[in-house]
Structure 1
Amino acid sequence: MSDVVFGETSNLKPSQARTLARLGERRVSADAVVSAPLARDLLALSHELNRRIGLFLDRRGRVNRVILGDAHSLELPEFERVRGADGRLRGIRLVLTHLVPDPLDREELADLAKLRLDMVAALHDSPGGMHVDIACLEPAREKGKGFAIRRIDRAPVALLSPDAGGRNREAHPRPDLPSDFTAFIRELEGLLVAATAQTKAAGTGTRAMVLQVHTDQMNREGGIEARQAELRELCRTAGVDLVELVCQRRRYPDPRTFLGSGKLREVLISALEQDVELLICDPELSASQARVIADSTDLGVIDRTMLILDIFAQHARSSDGKLQVELAQLRYRLPRMIGKGTMMSRLGGGIGGRGPGESKLEVDRRRAQKRINELEKRLQKLQRQRDQRRARRRRSDVPVVAIVGYTNAGKSTLLNTVTESEVIAENKLFATLDPTVRRVRFPDEREVVMLDTVGFIRELPPALMQAFSATLEEVAEADLLLHVVDATDPDNTQQIRTVEKILGDLGAGGVERFMVYNKCDLLPPELILPPEEQKQGSFQISAQDRRSTRGLMLAIEERLWQRGKVDSPRPDYAVDGSEPVED
């Protein structure tokens, strides 16, 4: 069989195989989509074989590939050369047959968008003769989209393929059909390049689409809107330009394609229309799901966990934090480094057992495991240093107050306000990654160590919990916790439950705590309670206003005095008299 033919040909007769191969020798005029004779022969052979047939034609009218499918679909071969960047088209058009007069289906439109073909033309018989359905890309009118799909249905083939004598040309051709294919494609490609440049210039980062499966578990927990808002905020923090969030309600994600193959095709078309480079999936993907989606779309694919890990990598400043983030990333990725039927054990060696050596996948896995072991040893050394610092604090009998809470609740801002520090505090998730320790000096030389910790989030990745366990254990050994809550967040009840669950997992569930409702200056007046009406151990503050923290600081001193950690509280205590001392 000729190298130009792609598809299963083993059950063809020799004469049919030769006829199929000879299609690769045909040519059409450069200014025509397809010639009428070629269209008739292609459709006749397709009916004879009862299988779809497709041709890849270049812009010179030469047949690059003959594709043999089944009665319902075509599987297209891979392209060796890369084209289609920055809005350019592939330089190849696909002409295929339909055995029944069906319009171009979702699969064919997805291939048009994914491969950035010049055009897709589907030939079929109809009561009025042989007709063609055409689709091509064109610049989108809708803001934020790179291109749309233009469709021309039920056009007579004769309109697309004028012969030398003009016998097949109709007197009044449709105005939406290209009379000169070459000129039409050049003009179209120029418009697409300009539209793509404009779209990228308007973007703020990697263009991404979130794919979320609204599972039964999410439905039971509630707060799907809050979860979506959180995903948007994660994208903003990571510097991702989120162009669309697609939510599908299912009992559980499709075990193979996450959304289901049909929905995934729809998503692919929409993603390519909007020049999306990255798909972010929620909930977590399995390794096989990530591979199938990536193979189906040729786009970057990550899940919510990988997005959080990327944010941690961006915000890690200290060597300790960077090592912990790298360890978390490697632990998460190692189980997902899999091959098709590849054993992970070392190939046999010795006499009669020597093989070609390890595969690249095996080498990568071994390198990753070696790096994990190195990081664990270095972090163990840093943990011993932290243990020594904690031991010194215990010997000096300095009480520790740990600030905990959901991410972006205002923990670092509170630390800065009460200690006059300059810890990085931004309106972003996980702006604080490296734990920060500062001392607050009360009157009569009494001191309290305040510890700012990394923010929590629902479904905190286990890889992060494990990597940061040595740091987070400071929380379990604290004398008092300040649980900071964003009072303005409509989902703060669920956030409180999330933080309490994580504290329990860390062994800090029994540590005394104050509930600190932050950002109360943004609440309606009727929701702000006077101090005498607030519950014991609960405080409404604005972390940016030092005066609003006065009651909280007095309560901290009183609570620690009751436990024998500091001297009796003085009635003339003044928050303004506190002095920050770096630990």
Structure 2
Amino acid sequence: MSADRLHGDTANLKSSQSRALQRLGERRVPADRVISAALARDLLDLSHQLGRQLGLFIDRRGQVERVILGDAHSLSLPEFARVRGALGRLRGIRLIVTHLVPDPLTREELADLAKLRLDLVAAVHRGPAGIQLDLANLTPAAPGAAEVFTLRTWPRVPVSTLSPDLSTRPDEETPPPPGAPDLPINFTAFIRELEARLVAATTDARAEARGTKATALMVHGGGPEVPARIAELRELCRTAGIQLMDLVTQRRPQPDPRTFLGAGKLREVIVRALEQDCELLICDPDLTPSQAHAIAEETELKVIDRTTLILDIFAQHARSADGKLQVELAQLRYMLPRMIGKGTAMSRLAGGIGGRGPGETKLEIDRRRAKERINALTRRLDELRQRRDQRRALRRSTNVPVVAIVGYTNAGKSSLLNTVTQSEVLAENKLFATLDPTVRRIRFPEDREVVLLDTVGFIRDLPPALLQAFSATLEEVADADLLLLVVDASDSDRDQQRAAVEGILGDLGAGKVPRLLVFNKCDLLDPEELAVRRAEAGPDTFFISALDRRSTFPLMQAIENHLWERGKIERPAAFPGDDES
């Protein structure tokens, strides 16, 4: 056996032990058997002699492809070039491991089964009843289940049950336990039938699936806002076209500084995600660069956080050239600190005349190019800001007042703009459907005109990279004469959403701009609840359905009264909500 087929630390082995390991790599088992009793016995004998676990990768022809040498408690498996099978197909490799004590398959071994899509995992150990096996394999999940496949573990069986050959000792010829299910005695037939069912299940699941499958991880400190955060994360996934298979929450003051959930819990989540055929892990709150790196070391799944998800939604919805530039700038600013290497990966390579070295590493080149692109985008967006300043100056010179519609994402701002201006701006039941600001004019009696500005929706914990990149656009809000703060009246989280919007307005320098509070989607409220809210509301609060133009008439009258009867420039000393900004 060639040295590259032996995986593990062999530094302290005797030459006789190294030769014994090499001979294991030359063994074969019948293709229709999981393992022969003779090989199981020899494998266990050598494992106990070394005091270390051993493992074998065996292909479907019965050839030992790799011998793995571990320590007393675990194995470190070699990497495969391709991590996962396609369309439900398995690896074509089974893993046989030795246990020095008769313990069942460990969590790590089951994780390897799911992660590597192995045909089967078997733990071999010796106990009072002789040599026995613990078995596990992947199997299609039950109809209607969220996952595509699940883990199946078998009752412990004597090795002779799966290897009725002449090399079996009489004391090992024990029948299977009563009530045992159909065991993989004929391994060839078993694996052929199993893989056919997995392929069929995966094909059906992909036909029904919509979007990338993902598992979301959330760490929170408890409190009444947690259900709203969970609902919002689900909605972000839906808007991004992600099929959220599972959402795992953990209550703790702060995420684990290394692995977000803690190493053990993260391992469980990864196994579950692989069972559900997920491709993506989403973390909320945002990951630090070290956390992202540590999680990536544990799994081949793609790992992103909440900000990355929001940036992806923005990238999907950007339509104008300006919007695309702002999204790209936000993405680069967020990713630049996360372009990190290990150890000396970021240092200039030494050597050569004068110590110049062969040049920059690829990571350094990527970072330099990212910085150059950020500078170029910043210059172009500065030009955008100047053009917007010119347009605002022109509006001020013509004495046309500006009313900006602001609010939480998906509160109905675009629907309101469409209704009162008879426009056809894109309005969808999704987060951040409006990304590019829209300006429409609306005419009042006596030839009075108002510029109505529809803005990008806000969200709690708005990523600073987004706020900075969209500053040229959001400056319009601070310069408006009046704000319409739209709130989704049907959302149980409306008070927290309003507080988040007020906080962002304060960050933008718009905390003192006069505003009218507009509760939208009131047609979804119970009439009695709506009556109570109307009775408790102040004079500058309005209840509408943005899809019903008649319900907006009192709001339009209030806009006219504020801008002209009270004077467009006049602003009250205090306004409801200012103290919360």
Report the TM range for the smaller structure's normalisation.
over 0.9
AA partner of residue 421 (structure 1)? S
Please point out which of 183, 191, 194 is paired with 2:197.
191
Q: Is the 8 A contact 2:6 2:67 kept in 1?
A: yes
Partner of 2:555: 552
1:85 alignment partner, SS class: coil
Amino acid in structure 2 at the alignment position of 1:72? H
User: Which residue of structure 2 lines up, in the alignment, with residue 41 of structure 1?
Assistant: 42
How far did 1:39 drift?
0.7
Alpha-carbon distance in 2 for matches of 1:125, 1:134: 15
- Give the 3-state SS of the residue equivalent to 2:4 in structure 1: coil
Structure 1 ranges of 4+ moved more than 6 A: 165-169, 530-533
Q: Is the 8 A contact 1:446 1:566 kept in 2?
A: no
C-alpha contact (below 8 Å) 2:438/2:454 kept by paired residues: yes
Residues in 2 aligned to 1:82 and 1:462: alpha-carbon distance in whole angstroms = 36
Name the CA distance, whole Å, in 1 between partners of 2:263 and 2:100: 23
Mind listing any 5+ residue stretches in structure 2 that lack a counterpart? Answer: 571-581
What is the aligned counterpart of 1:365 among 360, 364, 367? Answer: 367
Instruction: Give 2:229's aligned residue.
Output: 227
Letter matched to residue 212 of structure 1:
M
Helix, strand or coil at the partner of 1:401 = strand
Deviation at 1:162, TM superposition (A): 2.6
CA–CA distance in structure 1, aligned partners of residues 346 and 514 of structure 2: 48
- d(CA) in 2 for partners of 1:89 and 1:113? 10
Match of 1:420 among 419, 422, 430: 422
How do 1:48-87 residues align onto structure 2 when only pairs under 5 Å count?
A: 48-81=49-82, 84-87=85-88
Mapped partners of 1:72, 1:277: distance in 2: 30
- SS of equivalent residue, structure 1 residue 404: strand
Q: Which runs of 5+ in 1 are unaligned?
A: 568-583
Distance in 2 of aligned mates of 1:364 and 1:533: 57
Note closer, same or farther for the CA distance 1:489–1:339 as it changes in structure 2 (3 Å cut).
Answer: same
Amino acid of the structure 1 residue aligned with 2:32: D
- The amino acid across from 1:211 in the alignment is L
Give the residue type in structure 2 aligned to 1:204: R
Report the Cα distance in structure 2 between the residues aligned to 1:150 and 1:55, rounded to whole angstroms. 21
Q: CA deviation at 1:315?
A: 0.5
Show the counterpart of 2:577: none
Matched with 2:517 is 515
Give 1:14 deviation, angstroms: 2.1
Alignment of 1:422-501 (within 5 A): 422-501=424-503
How far has the Cα of 1:545 moved from its partner? Answer: 1.0
1:177 alignment counterpart: 183
For the 8 Å contact 1:32–1:162, the answer to whether it is kept is no
CA-CA distance at 1:538 after TM superposition: 0.6
Map of 1:561 onto structure 2: 564
Name the CA shift for 1:480/1:148 in 2 (closer, same or farther; >3 Å).
Answer: same
The equivalent of 1:28 in structure 2 is: 29
Distance 2:344 2:300 in 1: 23
The offset of 1:142, in angstroms, is 4.4
Once the two structures are superposed, residues 272-326 of structure 1 have per-residue CA deviations (whole angstroms, 9 ceiling, x without a partner) of: 1111111111110122222222332211111111111011001101100000001
Map Cα deviations across residues 131-167 of structure 1 (whole Å, 9 max, x no partner): 1100011111142321111111321011112325887
Q: Which whole-Å CA distance do the structure 2 matches of 1:323 and 1:348 have between them?
A: 38
* Gap change, CA 1:473 and 1:566, over 3 Å in 2: closer
Distance across 2 between alignment mates of 1:39 and 1:345? 50
Partner of 1:138: 139
Q: Distance in 2 between matches of 1:348 and 1:170?
A: 65
User: 1:102 — aligned with what?
Assistant: 103
Secondary structure of the 1:30 match is: coil
Give, as a single letter, the amino acid of the residue that structure 1 aligns with 2:390: Q
Cα deviation for residue 354 of structure 1 reads 2.8
Taking the TM superposition and a 5 Å limit, the aligned residue runs for 1:124-523 are 124-143=125-144, 144-163=146-165, 170=173, 172-173=175-176, 175-214=181-220, 216=221, 219-220=222-223, 222-342=224-344, 344=346, 351-523=353-525
Shift of 1:527: 2.1
| Separation in 2, partners of 1:437, 1:460 | 23
Query: Residue 407 of structure 2 contacts residue 501 of structure 2 at CA under 8 Å; is this kept in 1?
Result: yes
Other-structure match for 2:575? none
The alignment partner of 2:126 has SS state of strand
SS of the residue corresponding to residue 234 of structure 1 reads: helix
Q: Which string of whole-angstrom CA distances, capped at 9 and with x for unpartnered residues, describes residues 172-193 of structure 1? A: 5555211211111111111111
Cα distance change on mapping 1:33 and 1:343 into 2, 3 Å:
closer
- Checking the alignment, whether the CA contact within 8 Å between 1:397 and 1:565 is kept in structure 2 is no
Taking every aligned residue pair, what percent have the same amino acid on both sides?
A: 69
Partner residue, 2:114? 113
Native 8 Å contact 2:352 2:358 kept in 1: no
In structure 2, distance between residues paired with 1:511 and 1:126 = 79
Q: Tell me, what secondary structure is at the counterpart of 2:101? A: coil
Q: How far is 1:532 from its partner?
A: 8.0
Q: Distance in 2 between matches of 1:318 and 1:72?
A: 58
Contact between 1:435 and 1:453, CA under 8 Å: does it hold in 2?
yes
| TM-score of the aligned structures, taking structure 2 as reference length | 0.93
Q: Distance in 2 between matches of 1:97 and 1:176?
A: 24
Q: Counterparts of 1:501 and 1:350 in 2: how far apart (Å)?
A: 56
Kindly provide the amino acid, as one letter, of the partner of residue 327 in structure 1: L
Give the secondary structure class of the aligned counterpart of 2:155.
strand
Q: Distance in 2 between matches of 1:126 and 1:522?
A: 67
CA contact (8 A) 1:103 1:153 kept: no
Deviation of residue 73 (structure 1)?
Answer: 0.8
Distance 1:349 1:407 in 2: 55
- 1:276, 1:81 → 2: CA distance? 16
Q: Report the Cα distance in structure 2 between the residues aligned to 1:167 and 1:348, rounded to whole angstroms.
A: 63
- Contact 1:398-1:565 at 8 Å conserved across structures: no
Deviations 1:102-126 (A, max 9, x none): 1101100000000000110001111
SS at match of 2:510: coil
CA distance in 2, matches of 1:245, 1:9: 42
Q: What do you get for the CA RMSD once the two structures are aligned?
A: 2.0
Contact 2:158 2:174 (C-alpha < 8 Å) held by counterparts? no
